[in-house]
């Protein structure tokens, strides 16, 4: 069987793009009807693409990325499990700690906004930053570049605790490239 490429950047791009599009509404940058226009993007790119990435990560032996992408792909707004995934990232790398930490806070802020405790635009801004952290800002491209060059070219993907990852190959692990 041929070696699989690193599917995690696609999952991170899908997550970041969908999050940012939905945060446009939360921040008041566009009309609420925009949500209806991006339904297809959220379903196919945010959902289906992440689900496929999760399955690919399973074949690579990466349990954490399989669980994270599989969960968010199947149930894109999985608020309950986000904190648990964030705790798992504490044994991964700083980039993932930031992405999942921001996501957990975003979900809680969105819940507060829907209860009328805070302005929806506040949650929207935080969610937009969350999307950028997984997308353009760094993590997805650091995964791609480090895997392509076979080493830690861009910082932030080495493990926090110094323990090697148990996952095989790339994709939200620290073992995809030599230290």
User: Is residue 99 situated within a structural domain?
Assistant: yes
Give the Cα-Cα-Cα angle 78, 99, 85 (nearest 5 degrees). Answer: 45
Half-sphere exposure of 164 (CA within 13 A, CB side): 10
3-class DSSP assignment, residue 5: coil
pLDDT at 171 (0 to 100): 52
* Average pLDDT, rounded, for the chain: 80
3-class DSSP assignment, residue 178: strand
User: Is residue 165 situated within a structural domain?
Assistant: no
pTM, 2 dp = 0.55
pLDDT at 40 over 50: yes
Average pLDDT over residues 52-57: 93
> How many domains does the chain contain in total?
1
Q: Any idea which residue has 């894109």 for tokens? A: 76
Q: Report d(CA 102, CA 128) in Å as an integer.
A: 10
Stronger pLDDT, 103 or 114, i.e. the higher one: 103
pLDDT at 146 (0 to 100): 84
pLDDT at 137 (0 to 100): 62
User: Is residue 97 situated within a structural domain?
Assistant: yes
User: Is residue 51 situated within a structural domain?
Assistant: yes
pLDDT band at 178 (very low <50, low <70, confident <90, very high): very low
Between helix 63-74 and helix 8-26 the angle, nearest 10°, is 40
User: Is residue 169 situated within a structural domain?
Assistant: no
User: Is residue 132 situated within a structural domain?
Assistant: yes
pLDDT at 134 over 50: yes
User: Is residue 168 situated within a structural domain?
Assistant: no
Domain span at residue 33 reads: 8-149
User: Is residue 155 situated within a structural domain?
Assistant: no
pLDDT at 174 (0 to 100): 44
pLDDT at 75 (0 to 100): 63
What CA–CA distances, in Å, run from 24 to 120, 122, 129? 11, 11, 11
Average pLDDT over residues 7-13: 92
Stronger pLDDT, 134 or 135, i.e. the higher one: 134
């Amino acid at each position: 069987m041929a070696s699989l490429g690193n599917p995690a950047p696609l999952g991170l791009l899908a997550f970041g793009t969908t999050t940012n599009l939905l945060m446009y509404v939360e921040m008041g940058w566009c009309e609420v009807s925009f949500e209806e226009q991006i339904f297809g993007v959220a379903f196919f790119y945010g959902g289906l693409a992440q689900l496929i990435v999760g399955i690919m990560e399973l074949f690579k032996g990466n349990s954490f990325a399989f669980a994270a992408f599989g969960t968010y792909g199947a149930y894109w707004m999985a608020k309950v499990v986000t904190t648990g995934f964030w705790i798992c990232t504490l044994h991964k790398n700083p980039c993932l700690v930031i992405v999942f930490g921001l996501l957990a806070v975003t979900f809680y802020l969105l819940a507060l906004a829907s209860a009328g405790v805070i302005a929806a635009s506040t949650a929207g801004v935080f969610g937009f930053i969350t999307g950028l952290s997984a997308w353009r800002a760094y993590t997805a491209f650091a995964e791609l570049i480090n895997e392509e060059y076979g080493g830690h070219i861009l910082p932030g993907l080495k493990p926090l605790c110094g323990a090697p990852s148990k996952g095989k190959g790339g994709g939200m692990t620290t073992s995809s490239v030599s230290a």
